[in-house]
Amino acid sequence: MNSNFWLTNAGLETGFQFDNGIVTGTKTEFFHLLIKNGKIEQIISADEILTDDLPKKDAKHLLVLPSFVEKHCHLDKTLLGDRWRAVTPVKNIFGRFETEKTVLPTLETSTQERAEKLLDIYLKSGVTHVRTHVDLYPEVGLKNLEEVQKALQTFEGKLSYEIVAFPQHGLLLSNAKELVREAVRQGANFVGGVDPATVDGDIEASLQEMVELAVDGNVGIDLHLHDADHLGIFTMKRLAKLTKEAGLQGKVAISHAFGLGDISEVQAEAMAEILEDAGITIITSVPLGRKFPPVGLLHRKGVSVAVGCDNIFDVWSPFGNGDVLERGGGV
Amino acid sequence: MLDNAFWLTNARLETGYHYENGIVTGTKTEPFHLRIEKGKIIELVKADRPIETNLPKREAHNYLLLPSFRDMHIHIDKTYYGGPWKAPSIPTKGLLTRLEEEEDLLPRLLPGAEERAKKLLDLVLSSGSTHIRTHCNVDPFIGLKNLEAVLSAVETYKDKVSVEIVAFPQHGLLRSKSVTYVREALRMGASLVGGVDPATVDDNIEKSLHMVMELAVEANANVDLHIHDPGHLGIFTFKRLAALTEEAGWQGRVTISHALAFADISTKEASEVAEILSHQGISITSSVPIGRTIPIPLLQSKGVSISLGDDSITDHWSPFGKGDSLEKAGTLAERFGLSDERSLGQTLGYITGGVTPLNKEGKSIWPNVGDNANLVLVDASCSAEAVARRAERKAVIFNGKVVYGALT
């Protein structure tokens, strides 16, 4: 295959430098990497001379890292590529739903074009895997899903992806059950959701329906949970319980999970044990304006934690640059 | 000098807000030509009017013109920037670890200090800042040698960026017996008296603050103190500083850097203390730390003048820092949820010494004929977009000279 090549003179980390038992630096050495059929087949010291006829691409002593994962974004929401607009003040999340519903159809660019713009930025910032939520509500139907899928198809071979069928206006509130079911049939890999308490008004019914959809479609779950302190914690506990009952361990994520940032360390540790036991991943966007889950504590307790940029210049937020490395720096 | 005179053509300026149902929904802009001469804006005309002139023209390509930025708290004398990567050590003894490190580190960094200071000036310049306030260590370990290095770098860059230097007794004005160093630094070209945590570093709030004010009055210099002390210890220190400011008649000449204690107290108390500071014209400079941010919009609403600074740009204190004031303004907006058009645009004032193209009512208040030509061209449609999106800097002009980027 012509995609086989040697990546030459690539810097790789080989160990720590210690000074009196304390890590004071990182050792790196240079290597040639044989890339074959999409895999690293061989790693040899850059001192060795390559004698085969495979093409060589020179990494020029730059550091090589595993590429990055963007675990929470909204490819269908971004305004990138369209004209500048700041956020219009609204009273609550429901006001934001209305704004989004009315603004997006009036844009001059298509959802696909804007999604491609954002994917381009992700690629440039080192991301090769994207998990995107796609809004599903009665007015938009499956259109966002279709447009985002088209955008992702144009990036086929450049990055991999997962799609969350996201009933942004409430699974129960906007009566989106059948839309979510259909989206999963059409290729979405996760059932999404948002604030079973404050958006749907019924934690138990909302979570039950979400889990049922996931089980029916044989897919995972990724729930937006902004609900604060003990309201959020209670919701997490119920979801953990339902996850285990449904045998969905390892397939469920909670995005934002702000409640974890609002409680004491002792309480957070107890909650972390429950999350770990249910195999639930926590995804944070490392927000600047709000307390967020204690990433270090969760990690220590064995909870899987991932990072995503979330909103990138959309009607929810004018900020965000698609640089997951910068988000990591924020942590 | 006439050879510095030119027309900056087709520069986009903000002219007002768009309103919808009484809410600001966008910013109006129009292209202008600006005649720049002797470091000042001499004439402003709408771009649809032809200009007849023999002066050279420099095309702004419809990029947005903003007042250039200020980084009001940085340490250019002890940076790793421009040198090899080095993470800070784990400070097992807190601040003391850092101070002990400096005893060996600063002399070791000294041979490259001037070069690194210059590289850092290049960095802040490329981000659109044409004025910075740098703190510079003066202490028994490095003496006045860092100051010499900084003065030399500043002299080389004097046509590109204006720099104020704070004589900074990092190891404690009293604790490290640095009074004579500060005094000498002020003679050599530092223009402000610095200091750090009169309580936890100097162990004597009253004596430390008195000494600071004495040095300031003696040299007719302004004051800029690092105060990290938390809670009511910090608040008490602010109040004493305010009282001494009043006694010395130093209103408008004192800055508190960091002022972290404001992050620890109630809104009500913060408002009261802010009024005390405002009354004495004491300003605050913040680096908008992510973990512990002081209530900047609240303090400003109480009349306290707030500036932003980058503080450490990769040094033995912190591996972070980008030297980009617009990034700081964006972080501030993000931190305080300032995401509507007007709030975003007004955030620019924190990095321009209070200058914004539009006032809160949407009246165009900058630029005016006679203003210094300290300008930055950015790839954005308005200030709000520039702040939210951290717009790309296309060119920077200082005293009427292009100091970064190319304008043809």
**pLDDT tens, position by position, A260-280:** 999 999 999 999 999 999 999
- For A83, the closest chain B residue by CA position comes to B381
Q: Note whether B292 contacts A: Cβ–Cβ < 8 A.
A: no
Q: How far is B317 from chain A (nearest CA, A)?
A: 14
Instruction: Average the pLDDT over B272-292 and give the result.
Output: 95
Beta carbons of B389 and A313 less than 8 Å apart: yes
Is there a domain that residue A216 lies in? yes
CA angle in degrees (0–180, nearest 5) for B372-B376-B379: 155
Domains of chain B: 2-67+357-404 (2.30.40.10), 70-320 (3.20.20.140)
Is there a domain that residue A129 lies in? yes
In this structure, what token pair is assigned to residue B207?
């004596």
- For B290, the closest chain A residue by CA position comes to A288
Cβ-based contacts under 8 A for chains A and B = 59
B77's torsion region: left (phi>0), alpha (psi -120 to 50) or beta?
alpha
Is the model's pLDDT at A99 over the cut of 60? yes
Q: How far apart are CA A200 and CA A224, in angstroms?
A: 12
In this structure, are residues A277 and A302 in contact, taking their beta carbons and an 8 Å threshold? no
Q: Note whether B87 contacts A: Cβ–Cβ < 8 A.
A: yes
Is there a domain that residue A249 lies in? yes
Mean pLDDT, chain B, integer: 96
Is there a domain that residue A63 lies in? no
CA angle in degrees (0–180, nearest 5) for A185-A191-A192: 135
Let me know whether A212 and A277 are in one domain: yes
Is there a domain that residue A116 lies in? yes
Instruction: Average the pLDDT over A117-133 and give the result.
Output: 98
Beta carbons of A86 and B341 less than 8 Å apart: yes
Is the model's pLDDT at A191 over the cut of 90? yes
Give the whole-number percent of chain B exceeding pLDDT 70.
99
| The predicted structure's pLDDT at residue A288 | 87
Is there a domain that residue A227 lies in? yes
* CB-closest option in A22, A86, A289 to B384: A86
Q: pLDDT for A232-249, tens place per residue?
A: 999 999 999 999 999 999
| The predicted structure's pLDDT at residue A1 | 47
Let me know whether A76 and A199 are in one domain: yes
Let me know whether A82 and A197 are in one domain: yes
Give the ipTM.
Answer: 0.85
- For A292, the closest chain B residue by CA position comes to B291
A118, A317, A319: best mutation site toward chain B, by most B Cβ within 10 Å? A319
Q: Is the dihedral of CA B63, B68, B72, B74 positive or negative?
A: positive
**Which residues are CB-contacts of B370 (< 8 A; sequence separation ≥ 6)?**
B40, B41, B42
Q: Which residues pair with B19 in a beta bridge?
A: B24
HEC string of chain B equals CHHHCEEEEEEEEEEEEEEECCEEEEEEEEEEEEEEECCEEEEEEECCCCCCCCCCEEECCCCEEEECEEEEEECCCCCCCCCCCCCCCCCCCCHHHHHHHHHHHHHHHHHHHHHHHHHHHHHHHHCCEEEEEEEEECECCCECHHHHHHHHHHHHCCCCCEEEEEEECCCCCCCCCCHHHHHHHHHHCCCEEEEECCCCCCCCHHHHHHHHHHHHHHHCCEEEEECCCCHHHHHHHHHHHHHHHHHHCCCCCEEEECCHHHHCCCHHHHHHHHHHHHHCCCEEEECCCCCCCCCHHHHHHCCCCEEECCECCCCCCCCCCCCCHHHHHHHHHHHCCCCCHHHHHHHHHHHCCCCCCECCCCCECCCCCCCECCEEEECCCCHHHHHHHCCCEEEEEECCEEEECCCC
Mean pLDDT, chain A, integer: 96
Instruction: Average the pLDDT over A91-96 and give the result.
Output: 92
User: Could you identify the residue written with the tokens 């001499």?
Assistant: B42
Residues from chain A contacting residue B341 (CB–CB below 8 Å): 86
User: Could you identify the residue written with the tokens 């540790």?
Assistant: A269
Is the model's pLDDT at B357 over the cut of 90? yes
Beta carbons of B340 and A289 less than 8 Å apart: no
Let me know whether A172 and A32 are in one domain: no
- Computed on alpha carbons and rounded to an integer, the radius of gyration of chain A in Å comes to 22
Q: How far is B345 from chain A (nearest CA, A)?
A: 10
Let me know whether A238 and A108 are in one domain: yes
Residues from chain B contacting residue A84 (CB–CB below 8 Å): 26, 380-382, 384-385, 389
Let me know whether A182 and A36 are in one domain: no
Cis (ω within 30 of 0) for the bond into A66? Answer: no
Number of domains in chain A: 2
| A residues 155-214 lying closer than 8 A (beta carbon) to B | none
Residues from chain B contacting residue A330 (CB–CB below 8 Å): 290
Q: pLDDT for B117-148, tens place per residue?
A: 999 999 999 999 999 999 999 999 999 999 99
| A residues 266-295 lying closer than 8 A (beta carbon) to B | 288-289
- Computed on alpha carbons and rounded to an integer, the radius of gyration of chain B in Å comes to 22
Q: How far apart are CA A231 and CA B52, in angstroms?
A: 69
Confidence of residue B3 (pLDDT cuts 50, 70, 90): low
Instruction: Average the pLDDT over A278-305 and give the result.
Output: 95
User: Could you identify the residue written with the tokens 């209530």?
Assistant: B295
Cα dist. B58→B128, B141, B160, B363, B374 in Å?
18, 49, 18, 27, 15
**Which residues are CB-contacts of B217 (< 8 A; sequence separation ≥ 6)?**
B248, B250
Let me know whether A82 and A38 are in one domain: no
- For A314, the closest chain B residue by CA position comes to B339
Range of weakest confidence among A216-230, B83-97, B211-225, B362-376 = B83-97
Beta carbons of B388 and A25 less than 8 Å apart: no
Let me know whether A162 and A259 are in one domain: yes
Let me know whether A97 and A19 are in one domain: no
Q: Note whether B263 contacts A: Cβ–Cβ < 8 A.
A: no
Let me know whether A44 and A119 are in one domain: no
Let me know whether A51 and A172 are in one domain: no
A288, A325, A327: best mutation site toward chain B, by most B Cβ within 10 Å? A288
Confidence of residue A329 (pLDDT cuts 50, 70, 90): confident
Instruction: Average the pLDDT over A126-144 and give the result.
Output: 97
Confidence of residue B2 (pLDDT cuts 50, 70, 90): very low
End-to-end Cα separation, chain B, in angstroms: 20
In this structure, what token pair is assigned to residue B160?
């590109």
Confidence of residue B310 (pLDDT cuts 50, 70, 90): very high
Cα dist. A124→A119, A128, A158, A323, B201 in Å?
9, 10, 11, 9, 46
Cα dist. B57→B10, B29, B35, B379 in Å?
10, 21, 9, 20
- What are φ and ψ of residue A164, in 5° steps? -105, 125
Cα dist. A115→A76, A106, A125, B56, B223 in Å?
6, 16, 15, 43, 51
Q: How far apart are CA B29 and CA A314, in angstroms?
A: 22
CA angle in degrees (0–180, nearest 5) for B194-B196-B199: 135
- For A90, the closest chain B residue by CA position comes to B340
Is there a domain that residue A257 lies in? yes
In this structure, are residues A249 and A278 in contact, taking their beta carbons and an 8 Å threshold? yes
| The predicted structure's pLDDT at residue B144 | 98
Domain interval for residue A78: 68-330
| The predicted structure's pLDDT at residue A162 | 98
| B residues 297-356 lying closer than 8 A (beta carbon) to A | 320, 330-331, 333-337, 339-341, 344
In this structure, what token pair is assigned to residue B328?
């700081």
Q: How far apart are CA A129 and CA A310, in angstroms?
A: 14
What is the CATH classification number for the domain harbouring A208? 3.20.20.140
| The predicted structure's pLDDT at residue B133 | 98
Q: Point out the domain boundary residue: A19, A35, A58.
A: A58
Confidence of residue B408 (pLDDT cuts 50, 70, 90): confident
Let me know whether A309 and A225 are in one domain: yes
Nearest to B143 by CA among B110, B189, B112, B97: B110
Q: Point out the domain boundary residue: A58, A76, A98.
A: A58
| The predicted structure's pLDDT at residue A170 | 97
Is there a domain that residue A187 lies in? yes
